[in-house]
């Protein structure tokens, strides 16, 4: 239950999130300066071809000039792109876009990295968590709309609608969101039945002479085990395939996703525990049934 709804305290059991979207580089990769196909180095290439039949000294001088121009241009492009990244980072900060967004079964959290990404020592620090429902899911288009307006005002040709990527990314995200929504329902059923099975087990050990208790516990625990098994399968498959699909198309705008191995381990351990409980009550029911049949046979 803690992993399904890890309180409203930001950061508590954050490592048990099913999926986390990394938006720390969002928008920066869009601001890449294009290279003109025709530049001074193209002219020097033509001169070098012309000098191929001339002296080695002429070719060497042309090569030196080409390298100098290339170095200067690369250095200028690097500085321009660094400036663009700073502008994008400032815009994203002003828009209130967080570095990451994570989703638990019944909650969603958001926060920033400290120190800032891409520092390898950066740690995810949650700033806000809230209950997540059908209308409270990760929507990339809502994040990109204000970002698009800001970027269009810049003196660069960086229109987001020109990239033709957000729609395909949001489609993958929507599929993952639907899977997470179904998980909420299935896990709620599984958790409820697991809690009821726990109470019935206490009653069964308190009143061991009641023949019907084994059957009642079996009836309660078996659908609980089935619900947790289905939820664990959906969580494992949906998280893995969803994250892979998002990463395949999200890199172009700086969006990436990861899934939690801790949550996967926890959900399968819980499923295994309910499986053991179900098996215990099945064996107990069959034993009591066998004893009851023997008693009837002896009485006859």
Please report the pLDDT score of residue 126 as a whole number.
85
The pTM for the full model equals 0.68
Q: Same structural domain for residues 79 and 112?
A: no
Q: Same structural domain for residues 79 and 168?
A: no
Please report the pLDDT score of residue 187 as a whole number.
87
Q: Same structural domain for residues 130 and 190?
A: yes
In a domain, 8, yes or no: no
Residues with pLDDT less than 70, the chain: 1-11, 27-95, 117-119, 132-137, 139-168, 208-211, 292, 294-300
Reported as a single tens digit per residue, the pLDDT across 249-280 is 777 777 888 888 888 898 999 999 999 999 99
Considering just the CA atoms, what is the radius of gyration of the chain in Å?
Answer: 30
In a domain, 6, yes or no: no
Neighbours of 62 (CB within 10 A): 19
How many Å separate Cα 166 from the centre of its chain? Answer: 16
Please report the pLDDT score of residue 83 as a whole number.
65
DSSP code of 113? E
Domain range for residue 160? 14-26+97-299
Please report the pLDDT score of residue 67 as a whole number.
61
Q: Same structural domain for residues 76 and 143?
A: no
Reduce the DSSP state of residue 232 to 3 states and report it. helix
d(CA 282, CA 260): 33
């Amino acid at each position: 239950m803690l992993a399904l709804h890890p309180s409203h305290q930001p950061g508590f059991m954050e490592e048990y999130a099913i999926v986390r979207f990394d938006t720390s580089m969002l928008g920066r990769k869009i601001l890449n300066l294009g290279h003109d196909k025709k530049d001074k180095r193209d002219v020097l290439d033509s001169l070098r071809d012309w000098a191929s039949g001339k002296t080695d000294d002429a070719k060497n001088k042309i090569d030196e000039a080409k390298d100098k121009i290339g170095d200067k241009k690369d250095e200028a492009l690097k500085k321009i792109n660094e400036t663009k990244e700073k502008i994008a980072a400032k815009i994203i900060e002003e828009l209130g876009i967080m570095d990451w967004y994570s989703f638990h079964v019944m909650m969603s959290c958001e926060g920033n990295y400290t120190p800032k990404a891409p520092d390898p020592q950066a740690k995810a620090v949650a700033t806000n968590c809230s209950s997540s429902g059908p209308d409270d899911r990760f929507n990339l288009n809502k994040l990109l709309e204000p970002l698009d307006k800001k970027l269009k005002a810049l003196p660069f040709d960086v229109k987001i609608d020109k990239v033709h990527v957000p729609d395909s990314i949001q489609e993958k995200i929507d599929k993952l969101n639907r899977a997470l929504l179904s998980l909420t329902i299935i896990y709620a059923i599984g958790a409820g039945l697991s809690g009821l099975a726990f109470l019935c087990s206490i009653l069964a050990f308190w009143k061991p002479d009641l023949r019907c208790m084994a059957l009642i516990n079996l009836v309660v625990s078996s659908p609980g085990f089935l619900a947790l098994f289905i939820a664990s399968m959906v969580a494992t498959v949906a998280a893995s395939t969803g994250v892979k699909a998002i990463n395949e198309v999200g890199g172009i705008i700086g969006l990436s996703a990861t899934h939690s191995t801790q949550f996967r381990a926890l959900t399968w351990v819980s499923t295994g525990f309910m499986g053991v409980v179900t098996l215990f009550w099945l064996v107990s029911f069959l034993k009591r049934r066998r004893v009851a049949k023997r008693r009837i046979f002896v009485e006859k």
